[in-house]
A and B are shown apart, each in its own frame.
Chain A
Amino acid sequence: MNIVVCIKQVPDTTEVKLDPVTGTLIRKGVPSIINPDDKAAIEAALRIKDQSGARVTILSMGPPQADAALREALAMGADEAILLSDKAFGGADTWATSSTIAAAVRKLKYDLVLTGRQAIDGDTAQVGPQMAEHLGLPNISYAEELRLEGDSVIVRRQYEDRRHIVKAKLPCLVTVLSELNEPRYMTPGGIYAAYREKEVLRWGRADLDIDDSNLGLHGSPTRVYKSFTKALKGKGTVVTPDSPQESANWLVDRLRDKFVL
């Protein structure tokens, strides 16, 4: 069993503060973490490895600093880590990103490809499913439970109002939610081994069989037009009606005003 887990290093948004003057995010000094959904994907792969044996390869595209995220995955117990890093990959949107990572996955042996549902910085949830398209794999998204049975994977996927239990033959790509599991801690010895005995392979443009038209900024059909912080909402209105009936009426009227109802 070969499992490839795709992860992204993201700023820890719980540590991000707002600039009180400009209202924009202050990213300086914010620690980087493995995207929480992706960390659950690593844990899911490692549990399969613990139970029935598997070789777990971690793949990430990003700047050289993303090395730390891959070392962390190695320290948790992954076998191999590859960092896709090249100026040519820079400025990629989800299409170029998924094309690049899929090109790397093609070079690897895999039965199961796991990714997180979405990254907490971009929040698109597109890269995983797009990769499945590029690779011609069945895709199950939003996994909140995942197990293997023979040559299939059985996933409970979470929608807003319902759950599906879906079975797919391997090879398959599954995007997982952070609710899937509680990722394990690293161990001190695991950390030492991740830096001293294991290696993070670096793959650049030349290592991938991919058309330039699908790479980086130039291969990105979408562009970010403008990004801004949402204006803070007003203070709100406090009303003190005499009865629950009156409160409900008041609320329904306001919702009608805003065409919600």
Chain B
Amino acid sequence: MDFDLTQEQEMAQKLYRAFAEKEVKPLAHAIDEEERFPVETVEKMGRLGFLGIPIPREYGGQGCDNLTYAMCVEELSRVCATTGTIVSAHTSLACAPLLDFGTPAQKEKYLIPLAKGEKLGAFALTEPNAGCDAAGQQTRAVRDGDSYILNGTKVFITNAEAADIYLVFAMTDKSKGTRGISAFVVEKDFPGFSIGKKEKKMGIRASATCELIFRDCRVPAANLMGQEGRGFEYAMKTLDGGRIGIASQAVGIAQGALNETLRHVKERKQFGKPLAAFQNTQFQIADMVPRVDAARLLVLRAAVAKDTGKPYSAIAAMAKLFASETAMAVTTKCVQLYGGYGYMRDYPLERMMRDAKITEIYEGTSEVQRMVISAHLLR
């Protein structure tokens, strides 16, 4: 067993860190305050191939492994969790399913521009009445000649406002339950498709999360992803991979908070000595560091399992559960160590704490992860 990164992974990490520090960190505060989608960063990331890291080169991607991709999400999220989310939703939830389940024509038409970063992707499964219970899809798709007609509403869609291409799940045959759900590739300007309300969120406030509205939206039959009736299966498999991205994001948030706090406790003096000289500080730090490291190791294991073609659903769920709860616990502790400054919006800690919470909720809540993990053990 080898815990060292390969030379190329190490250099990629160096690249992501330099990019995050120079291009992402300076914007993190402002885009959170303004709830502004960082178009300029996304354009830069697109040009540098950050929007297609684990996608093969023949489809416009960088041809790297999932570990190299996961590291990118972690490094970006250390300084700006929103930027990590944008990359994760685009890569894991839009590019990956098109690669795994798309037809050759769909890959040509949609995956290549997505992986090259010329277009941005989004994934639309959640509905007002279908969250954790994704099987309860109410969006309907009815076949009409060479098209499907979509009607319904999706909510909480990451990248929604900024995206060009959407993977949309809809019921094609209600009588078949989960086997009656299908997936469609929808372009932004398809008639009958519109972006609804932009959500005001607690954290990751720059990620352009919106409602999607389908009113007699006509989608060519050629845009049915894979086979009719297999949408739910595609969605679940996609979310298995997505969890690696979100777990990486959570590790990044936790590490970012830890880095800021380590700096602060060495500089900040109270009672005549730096906070770092107090045993309480030392013990708090010593409690957090192993948790973050353990979370990262779980993420790396999940990424390597995916890269080596092994089953990774349970390990990805474990990584996501543990990393997100670690991010929440660590950011809360870090705000405490930072004291009053930690609570102020001029300092990054409170943002990190707000950002951490979503990792326990989206792409499967912690409770759903527990269902996935126990189902693997108890079946």
User: Which residues of A approach B to under 8 Å, CB–CB?
Assistant: 68, 71-72, 75, 185-192, 194-196
Distance in Å from the Cβ of B78 to the closest Cβ of chain A? 17
Instruction: From known contacts A191-B12, A192-B62, infer whether A185 and B7 are also in contact, taking CB-CB under 8 Å.
Output: no
Give the residue of B7, B11, B63 whose beta carbon is less than 8 angstroms from that of A186.
B11
Between-chain CB contacts (< 8 Å), 25 pairs: A68-B7, A72-B11, A75-B11, A185-B18, A185-B19, A185-B48, A186-B11, A187-B15, A187-B48, A187-B62, A188-B15, A188-B48, A188-B49, A188-B53, A188-B62, A188-B72, A189-B49, A189-B57, A189-B61, A191-B11, A191-B12, A194-B8, A194-B11, A195-B8, A195-B11
Q: Name the B residues within 8 Å of A187 (CB-CB).
A: 15, 48-49, 62
Distance in Å from the Cβ of B199 to the closest Cβ of chain A? 31
Q: How far is the CA of A194 from the CA of B53 in the complex (A)?
A: 16
Is A188's CB under 8 angstroms from B68's CB?
Answer: yes
- Which parts of B39-89 form the interface with A (CB within 8 Å)? 48-50, 53, 57, 61-64, 68, 72
Distance in Å from the Cβ of B53 to the closest Cβ of chain A? 5
Q: Name the A residues within 8 Å of B19 (CB-CB).
A: 185
Q: Name the B residues within 8 Å of A189 (CB-CB).
A: 49, 57, 61-64
Residue among A71, A188, A195 with max Cβ neighbours from chain B (10 Å): A188
Distance in Å from the Cβ of B361 to the closest Cβ of chain A? 29
Q: Name the A residues within 8 Å of B8 (CB-CB).
A: 191-192, 194-196
Distance in Å from the Cβ of A187 to the closest Cβ of chain B? 4
Give the residue of B6, B7, B12, B18 whose beta carbon is less than 8 angstroms from that of A188.
B12
Is A192's CB under 8 angstroms from B63's CB?
Answer: yes
For the complex of A and B, the 9 pairs showing the least CB-CB separation, nearest first, are: A189-B62, A187-B49, A188-B62, A195-B8, A191-B11, A188-B64, A186-B15, A188-B53, A191-B8
Residue among B11, B15, B18, B48 with max Cβ neighbours from chain A (10 Å): B11
Q: Which residue of A lies closest to B55 (CB)?
A: A189
Distance in Å from the Cβ of A17 to the closest Cβ of chain B? 13
Seed contacts A188-B50, A188-B62, A194-B8; 16 additional CB < 8 Å A-B pairs: A68-B7, A71-B11, A186-B15, A187-B15, A187-B49, A188-B12, A188-B48, A188-B49, A188-B53, A188-B72, A190-B49, A191-B8, A191-B11, A191-B12, A191-B15, A192-B64
Is B15's CB under 8 angstroms from A185's CB?
Answer: yes
Q: Name the B residues within 8 Å of A186 (CB-CB).
A: 11, 15
Q: Name the B residues within 8 Å of A68 (CB-CB).
A: 7, 11
Contact with A along B1-37 (1 / 0, CB 8 A): 0000011100110010011000000000000000000
Query: Could you tell me how many residues of chain B have their Cβ less than 8 Å away from some Cβ of chain A?
Result: 19
Interface residues of A: mostly helix, strand, loop or mixed? helix
Q: Which residue of B lies closest to A187 (CB)?
A: B49
Is A71's CB under 8 angstroms from B7's CB?
Answer: yes
Distance in Å from the Cβ of B25 to the closest Cβ of chain A? 15
Q: How far is the CA of A187 from the CA of B47 in the complex (A)?
A: 9
Q: How far is the CA of A47 from the CA of B64 in the complex (A)?
A: 26
Q: Name the B residues within 8 Å of A194 (CB-CB).
A: 8, 11
Q: How far is the CA of A194 from the CA of B12 in the complex (A)?
A: 11
Q: Name the A residues within 8 Å of B50 (CB-CB).
A: 188
Q: Which residue of B lies closest to A72 (CB)?
A: B11
Distance in Å from the Cβ of A22 to the closest Cβ of chain B? 22
Q: How far is the CA of A186 from the CA of B19 in the complex (A)?
A: 10
Distance in Å from the Cβ of A190 to the closest Cβ of chain B? 8
Q: Name the A residues within 8 Å of B64 (CB-CB).
A: 188-189, 192
Q: Name the B residues within 8 Å of A188 (CB-CB).
A: 12, 15, 48-50, 53, 62, 64, 68, 72
Q: Name the A residues within 8 Å of B49 (CB-CB).
A: 187-190
Q: How far is the CA of A191 from the CA of B48 in the complex (A)?
A: 11
Q: Which residue of A lies closest to B18 (CB)?
A: A185
Q: How far is the CA of A192 from the CA of B61 in the complex (A)?
A: 12
Distance in Å from the Cβ of A183 to the closest Cβ of chain B? 11
Q: How far is the CA of A34 from the CA of B186 in the complex (A)?
A: 45
Q: Which residue of A lies closest to B9 (CB)?
A: A191
Q: Name the A residues within 8 Å of B61 (CB-CB).
A: 189
Distance in Å from the Cβ of A52 to the closest Cβ of chain B? 21
Q: Name the A residues within 8 Å of B12 (CB-CB).
A: 188, 191
Q: How far is the CA of A185 from the CA of B20 in the complex (A)?
A: 12
Q: Which residue of B lies closest to A189 (CB)?
A: B62
Distance in Å from the Cβ of A119 to the closest Cβ of chain B? 20
Distance in Å from the Cβ of A20 to the closest Cβ of chain B? 14
Distance in Å from the Cβ of B8 to the closest Cβ of chain A? 5
Q: Name the B residues within 8 Å of A71 (CB-CB).
A: 7, 11
Distance in Å from the Cβ of B115 to the closest Cβ of chain A? 10
Q: Which residue of A lies closest to B6 (CB)?
A: A195
Q: Name the B residues within 8 Å of A195 (CB-CB).
A: 6-8, 11
Q: Name the A residues within 8 Å of B11 (CB-CB).
A: 68, 71-72, 75, 186, 191, 194-195
Q: How far is the CA of A129 from the CA of B72 in the complex (A)?
A: 41
